[in-house]
Amino acid sequence: MKMNTSKLLAFKFAALLAATSGVAEMTPEERGLKIAIESDKRDTGFGDTIVEMEMILTNRHGESINRKMKLRTLEGVGDGDKTLITFDEPRDVKGTAFLSYTHKVDADDQWLYLPALKRVKRIASSNKSGPFVGSEFAYEDMTSQEVEKYTYKYIGDVELDGMNCFQVERYPVDPKSGYTRQVGWIDKEHYRVIKIDFYDRKNSLLKTLTFNGYEQYLDKYWRADTAKMVNHQTGKSTELLWNNYKFNNGYTNRDFDQRSLQNAR
């Protein structure tokens, strides 16, 4: 749940915007893009992370099951991030691993490791709008949020939970997305995403995602420690709890290849 892109492109866009117009003359689209780029820029350079993630899936009757996994991320330079997710619970999927190469424009590359067969399978990645491991998060919500994957529109300045926020709409570029639009609240001080409303293909409010407990790492990068996705149409919800964020692990591409997918726990 973070925004990043290559420094190069971010600077290019920012320079272009600065050269062509002042803030007052910017169109809502230009201003929306500028906020997205700034938010992305502030998260650029984090390098790599590993974090333990717990996923609590709750149905409309209030019954819940937990999934536990480990997320390793390598920041992409000039392209999207690489992510390796290893599952620990529920126990019947323990050892299953999911490797994803996010691309800014092209379809992402994804592989699955099935420990019982010791088999690596490359899987189709066009499943953007489908649920990620049965949760209320779609695959497109879980993969890295490249600036280029949306177009933007600034709506206005609003207050949310005592924070001054930009309200920005974004529209998925990919026609396979499950959304027509997303409305985001981004705090003005740190450019962190606080809340997102997701609208389905019929433009009805589908889900709301809220982030809580932001902490700053390496004096620069903000990470939430919980997030909650509520599906308004089904009454189901999924909560994410992040634990033990570690930066500067020294990961390289080698830690995100087929061999590592098979060996990772």
Q: Given the rule CB under 8 A, which of 3-11, 21-29, 92-100, 211-219 is the region that contacts other proteins?
A: 92-100
Structure tokens at 52: 């333990």
Q: Is 263 in the site for other proteins (CB under 8 A)?
A: yes
Residues β-bridged to residue 211: 227
Within positions 43 to 62, which residues make up the interface with other proteins, using CB under 8 A? 57, 59
Member of 4, 83, 135, 237 binding other proteins (CB under 8 A)? 135
By beta-carbon proximity to other proteins, the closer residue of 128 and 195 is: 128
| Block residue for tokens 């930066």 | 247
Side chain identity, residue 163: M
Judged on CB neighbours under 10 Å (0-12, 13-18, 19+), 89 is: middle
DSSP one-letter code for 19? H
How many positions of this chain bind other proteins (CB under 8 A)? Answer: 37
Choose one: 23-31, 124-132, 191-199, 211-219; the region binding other proteins (CB under 8 A). Answer: 124-132
Q: Minimum distance from CB of 178 to other proteins (Å)?
A: 8
Identify which of residues 106 and 161 has a Cβ nearer to other proteins in the complex. Answer: 106
Give one word for 219, left, alpha or beta, with left for phi > 0 and alpha for psi -120 to 50: left
91 belongs to the binding site for other proteins (CB under 8 A): yes
Cis peptide before 131 (omega within 30 of 0): no
Between 121 and 220, name the residue whose CB sits nearer to other proteins. Answer: 121
Min CB(107)–other proteins separation in Å: 7
Residue nearer to other proteins on the CB measure, 7 or 68: 68
Residues of span 152-191 touching other proteins by CB under 8 A: none
**DSSP classification of residue 108:** P
Contact between residue 48 and residue 71 where contact means Cβ atoms under 8 Å apart: no
Amino acid at 5: T
The CA-atom distances, in angstroms, between 88 and each of 3, 53, 58, 100, 244 are 27, 10, 19, 18, 16
Picking from 5, 172, 2, 3, the residue whose alpha carbon sits closest to that of residue 79 is: 5
Please choose, out of 83-91, 189-197, 207-215, 222-230, the segment that lies near other proteins by the rule CB under 8 A: 83-91
Question: Which residues of this protein are in contact with other proteins, per CB under 8 A?
Answer: 57, 59, 65-66, 89-94, 107, 109, 117-127, 129-131, 133-135, 249, 254, 257-259, 263-265
